[in-house]
Structure 1
């Protein structure tokens, strides 16, 4: 009654789908509970299943309805690494849906299917680069922002909130032991590691493991080996993410209902624009966007992560979808025309 969107769904038989909700047991079934709160039902027709799926994903992303279960909210199923804002931001593991709602996120790396490997790898990365892993409630005091007397008066000296500073695994931004510039330099190195441009932590662990083995300190060598393994497995996950994000662009032609055929411009796994084939101006605009240079992203944009997952699953699960994809708008139109002619000939044969 207050305008909140409770549920978003897709169906080819809307009437049958809605009537089924009225026969569900109350209060056991969530859709029966959903109807008790519903004051208005709205629907939108779309020319194809792909168009309907794309609209469904975007509506769920915009409203995050509470009656859409996790399987219907793709962002709830995935984890991402986020880098926040502020003088000493930390690497944080979040649900993709939480990162999408947050205003404190500056960069997103992901998606990842499991949280546990991320925890182990980020612990190693934080230790190697001296980044903090304390909670957001811990106040940061870098030397750039410290008051004059805080640096000189013994009574105003702070003590670390954890042991990581004493063991030289954190730069200590919570006690003013580092400057914002020095901390951000290490954060830049962490970004380079996450983007595959720096393997210094790996090399450092290999050197330490070699020294420990030479000194017959096999327990420490084994501990270092486990940390190196965690980092290598994490690097393999990052490589898969980067591969998905750097896929070549293409134009996908989708035959629509009642002749409403459409073209979709896909860049790096995400739908950037669409156009009706019957609208020359829209086709020209799509061609202009196609010619514009596009830089490959180094990290997933969380507000479009669900579209990346949709496009990936669509082309993986449907044979023949690739046949209507082309490098250019003109190529996609030609493939669409061939498909329409073939479908028309098949219909004539069946009718004859």
Structure 2
């Protein structure tokens, strides 16, 4: 057991880290007075069992001094997010939710969906959206109602003729035409009003413009504005206002303790409308400690921070100051006065209690057999491009929740050029076997009996169950006809369509599919970028433009000079690039 000598440490604010023999960080703590805080670790008999267990594993203690207690609080949150120590309160579901971003530094900004906020005076953010489906639905509405450009900056810089969005009346095409920046800026302001929830101001402006257009006998423009007004009115009718008159954006936090853990929840309120809520379950500790740790960790992840927060229990001034520093603007702690605010707090309390509720146990007997528990589930899928760039992607779920830090990509050069998914799965299973524990209780494979058998031949010896999610005889019905198959059983498992167990298997299958595709595309982009930049006269910017148009060197070799001239290249440079690409392609074919 590590014995702390507090006399070795200064009496000033800071952070301390207990480390295991392999330099693994076991615990990160903060202190207003390091010497006094570390002295509390000398009374071993009075320490909680969890702390005693941590000290038995600890080999060394490291301290970092800070100027203020607020700096110690921020540093602690950063170190916890980096090291994810076993004995700390760590938000397990700390994914970044979706935000809308408008970059005003570009003369013609586009609307983007992002997951992380970057501090910049030129970027406006709106959200967060806890549902990706809701965010993308809102994006489709905006694309239909407002004629902002949709293309990426690289495409915008190289486009020579308008795209389809212009021809169907959904873009002004500033990439090709002289669009007054004042007119475009007014359009951007309309989008900002829509996303901010200021629909009344937006509709007032549009009605005024419609009246002015009518007075000027511009009846076609007036009709367009009329249709836009009706569409916006139909859209905002479905947005429930739970706190009318609450114009200030607000995050409502609440911590509810139970015997085994603390449920923490945050409800996002924007312009009186609830956008969503997030829930966290943290190890047993006081609600004050759990709430303070959750708030700082959550906001330290690059999230959008509103000008006001409300919390129960109340947050100390030091935590509010730390949040304000993370936000880059003043943040005030709002008191819970009035029926509307108390209603929002009750909503947060209900979500916090839901976070501590025991998850529904799925009936896994039909999949893994009677008497077996399923806690860790691994899903695997294979991706390649006509037999090349073969990769496996593995996702991990624990207690029904994804664990992204355990996701892994596997390059499988032994299967290169074969296009054989069964061999690729066998190679992945061998790599997984060599990696060792923790072993999964269940492995989910995207495929049928052949894919399941390939994995079972290797991983069967570790005792995990293996199930494949295969398409039914008719693909028209989509996921309703998906079937679960296991080794040695001719017929599919008796899981009805839409059952919780089959839905979970489909969720793991789909997560593995998305993950392996993202890795495959990233490796392809990286490989193509390096190939392109090795051609004469191709730098990073030109390579990016070429990558938007051509997926492989062979496609570039088959292009014409006009294709490259359309990207903004000069004729001599286009000829040199084509000549080098054709030489490279012929060498690859010869080999």
Q: Determine if the TM-score, normalized by the shorter chain, exceeds 0.5.
A: no
Q: Larger C-alpha radius of gyration, 1 or 2?
A: 2
User: Where is the helix percentage greater, Structure 1 or Structure 2?
Assistant: 1
Q: Which one scores higher on RCO, CA 8 angstroms, separation ≥ 6?
A: 1
Bucket of the pairwise TM-score, normalised by the shorter protein: 0.3 to 0.5
